[in-house]
Amino acid sequence: MKSILEFGKMKATGKKISVVTCYDFWSAKIIDDSNIDAVLVGDSGAMVMHGFETTINAEINMMCYHVAAVKRATKKFIIADLPFLEHKKGKENLFNSIDLLFKAGANAIKIEGADGNLEMINELTQSGIPVMGHLGLVPQSINQLGGYKKQGSNEKSFNKIFDDSLKLQDAGCFSIVLEMVPSDLSKKITNKLEIPTIGIGAGAETDGQVLVLTDLLGMDKDFHPKFVRKYLQGYNLILEALNTYNDDVKKKNFPSLRESN
């Protein structure tokens, strides 16, 4: 398993870091056999695994359930998203929730945004909890942002995200996800910070990339954001397999004699 020290070394030596989201046992087993550097059990699981419209529906039990399933299949470094408002329900609740995520198998947590979080992140990182920051498009604030759109496009927001990245590093974050920001901003942040940046929809200049597993496998036939590269036409391949199985059953081609005994 790679550690946060190795991620830091990878940045220092110019080696890119690959991260992919994962929520379940069987895909974590495949990821475990891959060369991917780290796994993010993202709160995007609320959307892609449970069909909710936003990540706001992810809650701590759901996250722990997914982390535990992933952990049973992989020895990769696991980052778990802290669900919406979990850090706003009091310190005891926060520490209990993080305890649950770590007992389930997480090695680090990810927290969205900097405003109002810096003191808390500082305390967490001083308590032995590796924290990944997340700036730019922060999906838990979708109701405030008004849509899944690029952030940091005007000067004020560009400077704010840049300043926040420095503050998160100072608070002790070991890495920061930059989501949906212009590449000149992610380049400026990446060049300035000592900790690695991991981009999604943030161009090629970040120290690493993260993609949602179901996006890179092409599992949703209706979702084609510009920043996603589909490495598999998963939807079509699985549909074809299911229909072939169906045909075989109907035509009495399955099971064969060999498959029956």
Catalytic machinery residues = 179
Please give the helix or strand (H or E) that residue 101 lies within, else none: helix 91-104
* Other CB atoms within 10 A of residue 24 CB: 17
Cβ nearer to ligand KIV, comparing 142 with 254: 142
d(CA 91, CA 89): 7
Work out how close the CB of 248 gets to ligand KIV at its nearest, in angstroms, rounded to a whole number.
36
Of the candidates 201, 178, 180, the one whose C-alpha atom is nearest the C-alpha of residue 190 is: 178
Give yes or no for residue 138 binding ligand KIV (CB under 6 A). no
Q: Could you give the angle at the alpha carbon of 164 between the alpha carbons of 40 and 214, nearest 5°?
A: 25
CB 38 within 8 A of CB 106: no
Q: How is residue 261 written in tokens?
A: 């005994």
Q: Using CB under 6 A, which residues numbered 208 to 237 contact ligand KIV?
A: 210, 212
Question: How far is residue 177 from each of residues 6, 113, 124, measured CA to CA in Å?
Answer: 17, 10, 18
Cβ nearer to ligand KIV, comparing 21 with 242: 21
Residue number with the smallest Cβ distance to ligand KIV: 42
Work out how close the CB of 143 gets to ligand KIV at its nearest, in angstroms, rounded to a whole number.
16
One of 27, 44, 165, 206 touching ligand KIV (CB under 6 A) = 44
Q: Using CB under 6 A, which residues numbered 6 to 25 contact ligand KIV?
A: 21
Q: Which stretch binds ligand KIV (CB under 6 A): 42-50, 116-124, 158-166, 215-223?
A: 42-50
d(CA 1, CA 238): 31
- Total binding residues for ligand KIV by CB under 6 A? 12
Question: How far is residue 26 from each of residues 19, 58, 107, measured CA to CA in Å?
Answer: 17, 21, 20
Of the candidates 60, 78, 74, the one whose C-alpha atom is nearest the C-alpha of residue 21 is: 78
d(CA 175, CA 180): 16
One of 200, 202, 216, 217 touching ligand KIV (CB under 6 A) = 200
Give yes or no for residue 186 binding ligand KIV (CB under 6 A). no
d(CA 58, CA 60): 7
Q: How is residue 166 written in tokens?
A: 């420095």
Q: Which stretch binds ligand KIV (CB under 6 A): 36-44, 99-107, 119-127, 187-195?
A: 36-44
Give yes or no for residue 177 binding ligand KIV (CB under 6 A). yes
CB 208 within 8 A of CB 9: no
Work out how close the CB of 58 gets to ligand KIV at its nearest, in angstroms, rounded to a whole number.
8
Cβ nearer to ligand KIV, comparing 54 with 233: 54
Cβ nearer to ligand KIV, comparing 10 with 178: 178
Q: Which stretch binds ligand KIV (CB under 6 A): 7-15, 35-43, 93-101, 229-237?
A: 35-43
**Which residues would be at the binding site for ligand KIV (CB under 6 A)?**
21, 40, 42-44, 55, 81, 177, 179, 200, 210, 212
